[in-house]
């Protein structure tokens, strides 16, 4: 039975249901048991944005606060995963990955390859991503392409409460390390979510809207912005197909190519900086494998190649919005009329 809950609640429910189902699942991270601003008080907040609230009391000994040392607790989680348990490690902000990158890049991602497939690392790293919360340059980045570039990692970017729950359960059950990217502006988003356990397979994109004129491809929060643009363009007689990648590694290349073969036009939306981004990777894929189908040059709608600004006005300009997507769509439509 489905009911409407928030993205935040969907993640909390996925964690609780998997911990109830599998005693090897546990949570560790900064403030996940106590809470920011409440030292010594167990389950006061449940993480900086309350995602793990209530789990400390439900699962004694399995929700562990850690020291403020990302390299330490992520390393401990990697070690635990190789010993047969399933840690869900919260990296409070993705920006803190610089403090523990060796544990992810050179350890967790490589063990299966280094040991001839005989070792697995069933680790989930949940982390907040994205701009829009006035958190400035060091708490607002979108590093999806960095993770996607690393062989051995799976990278998940849910855009809705339904996807957040199903993809997180799938991530916890996976035997490889998963980076689970939660956009901080989606935590309050409401959506229909089944009460029961369910999974969403990795590497299968979701077609949110069928269309014949232009293909829009994105992931995470930008999927919802793309849908806003598609609805606005529909009122002007332009029919957009919207693809939610769900996971960037593995990435559903076939769905992207099939859609472009149909529409002949592609706009890729990515909140990240443009250089070496998911937007450029998807553009290269289509240019290489579906060039003959293109009726116009590919358009990319991304953030500029700068850090996220602190100024409210500048941050609003930094983040791709529906108006920028609409203009990109109009550009490819006009080009093909030449």
Please list the active-site residues: 139
Reference 260, options 307, 293, 224, 298; nearest CA is: 293
103 contacts 75 by C-beta, under 8 angstroms: yes
In which residue are the tokens 């500029």 written?
Answer: 304
């Amino acid at each position: 039975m489905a009911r409407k809950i928030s993205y935040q609640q969907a993640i909390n429910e996925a964690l609780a249901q998997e911990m109830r189902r599998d005693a090897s699942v546990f949570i560790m991270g900064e403030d996940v048991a106590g809470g920011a601003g409440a030292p010594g008080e167990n389950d006061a907040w449940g993480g900086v944005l309350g995602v793990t609230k209530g789990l400390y009391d439900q699962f004694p000994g399995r929700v562990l606060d850690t020291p403020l040392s990302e390299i330490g607790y992520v390393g401990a989680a990697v070690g635990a995963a190789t010993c047969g348990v399933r840690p869900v490690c919260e990296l409070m902000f993705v920006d803190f990955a610089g403090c523990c990158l060796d544990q992810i890049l050179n350890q967790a991602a490589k063990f299966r390859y280094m040991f001839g497939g005989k070792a697995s690392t069933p680790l989930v790293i949940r982390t907040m991503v994205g701009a829009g919360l006035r958190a400035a340059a060091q708490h607002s980045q979108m590093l999806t392409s960095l993770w996607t570039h690393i062989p051995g990692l799976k990278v998940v970017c849910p855009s809705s409460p339904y996807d957040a729950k199903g993809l997180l359960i799938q991530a916890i059950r996976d035997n490889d390390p998963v980076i689970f990217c939660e956009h901080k502006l989606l935590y309050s988003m409401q959506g229909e979510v089944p009460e029961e356990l369910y999974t969403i397979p990795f590497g299968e994109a979701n077609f949110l809207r069928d269309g014949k004129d232009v293909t829009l491809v994105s992931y995470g929060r930008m999927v919802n912005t793309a849908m806003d643009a598609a609805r606005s363009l529909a009122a002007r007689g332009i029919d957009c197909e919207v693809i939610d990648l769900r996971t960037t590694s593995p990435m559903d290349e076939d769905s992207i190519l099939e859609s472009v073969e149909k529409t002949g036009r592609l706009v890729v939306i990515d909140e990240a900086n443009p250089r070496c981004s998911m937007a450029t990777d998807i553009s290269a894929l289509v240019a290489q494998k579906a060039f003959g189908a293109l009726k116009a040059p590919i358009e990319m709608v991304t953030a500029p190649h700068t850090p996220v600004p602190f100024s409210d006005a500048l941050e609003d300009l930094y983040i791709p919005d529906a108006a920028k997507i609409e203009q990109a769509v109009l550009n490819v439509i006009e080009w093909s009329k030449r």
